[in-house]
Chain A
Amino acid sequence: SAVISQKPSRDICQRGTSLTIQCQVDSQVTMMFWYRQQPGQSLTLIATANQGSEATYESGFVIDKFPISRPNLTFSTLTVSNMSPEDSSIYLCSVSQGTNTEAFFGQGTRLTVV
């Protein structure tokens, strides 16, 4: 399994500001994803991070709010823009090597917006 490092592990941010979360994998991976877990909720997919091209967003998530970069096969960033208290969640990076294989997760970034 891949070792996934997410930074920061937690942050408290002022509303209206932006936070960029980094995800570093110790080996090249085919697929990278970003999920969100709101308090008391399940994990929801935000987008698939595509290497060298624009991310593919799920319904309800837009690039202006959650810009994503993936410059290579081991690194991705997720930015939460113009934050509001409703953005307080755990944000998780996930990687996979392809169809019908398990996905592995980073430890998550716990974001609190005040």
Chain B
Amino acid sequence: DQQVKQNSPSLSVQEGRISILNCDYTNSMFDYFLWYKKYPAEGPTFLISISSIKDKNEDGRFTVFLNKSAKHLSLHIVPSQPGDSAVYFCAASASTGTASKLTFGTGTRLQVTL
């Protein structure tokens, strides 16, 4: 049972354009959401998070949007840079459970082309 889904396995975007990565979840107990970036042979790197009490969180080029009614979140990267090419994972946790126990999506491979 995949509780966190990233339906696009890959995405290609031109440098300077916007990258939009999507994530859907099914567990209504999830109330904290995170995005991670992962390069080959490295551990995931935390990018940005959002609590369910918000619908938007912004940090530099990265913005995460949360639509609780649709159980959907998205990560926007503007402008996209070649160094952003990596696999992006969406993750979720429920504060009623073990703190920070994360459920991950399947990942989206982003390629930023010149």
Chain A residues proximal to chain B, CB less than 8 Å? 1, 4, 6, 30-31, 33, 41-45, 48, 56, 92, 94, 96-108, 110
Contact B99 A98 (CB under 8 A): yes
B residues 16-48 touching A (CB-CB < 8 Å): 31-32, 34, 36, 41-46
CA distance A97 to B99 in the complex (A): 9
Chain B residues proximal to chain A, CB less than 8 Å? 31-32, 34, 36, 41-46, 49, 51, 89, 91, 93, 95, 98-107
Contact A41 B106 (CB under 8 A): yes
Determine which of A4, A41, A45, A99 lies in contact with B102 in the assembled complex, contact meaning CB atoms within 8 Å.
A45
Most chain A beta-carbon neighbours within 10 Å: one of B51, B93, B102: B102
A to B contact number (C-beta, < 8 Å): 70
Determine which of B32, B49, B105 lies in contact with A42 in the assembled complex, contact meaning CB atoms within 8 Å.
B105
Contact A42 B51 (CB under 8 A): no
Given A42-B106, A43-B104: A100 in contact with B98 (beta carbons within 8 A): no
B13 to chain A, nearest CB (A): 22
CA distance A97 to B32 in the complex (A): 14
Contact B46 A96 (CB under 8 A): no
Contact B99 A96 (CB under 8 A): yes
- For B93, list chain A residues within 8 Å (CB): 100
| 12 sampled A-B residue pairs with Cβ under 8 A | A6-B43, A33-B101, A44-B104, A48-B101, A99-B32, A100-B31, A100-B100, A102-B34, A102-B46, A103-B102, A104-B46, A105-B36
Given A41-B106, A106-B43: A48 in contact with B98 (beta carbons within 8 A): yes
A59 to chain B, nearest CB (A): 10
- For B89, list chain A residues within 8 Å (CB): 42-43
- For B100, list chain A residues within 8 Å (CB): 31, 33, 96-103
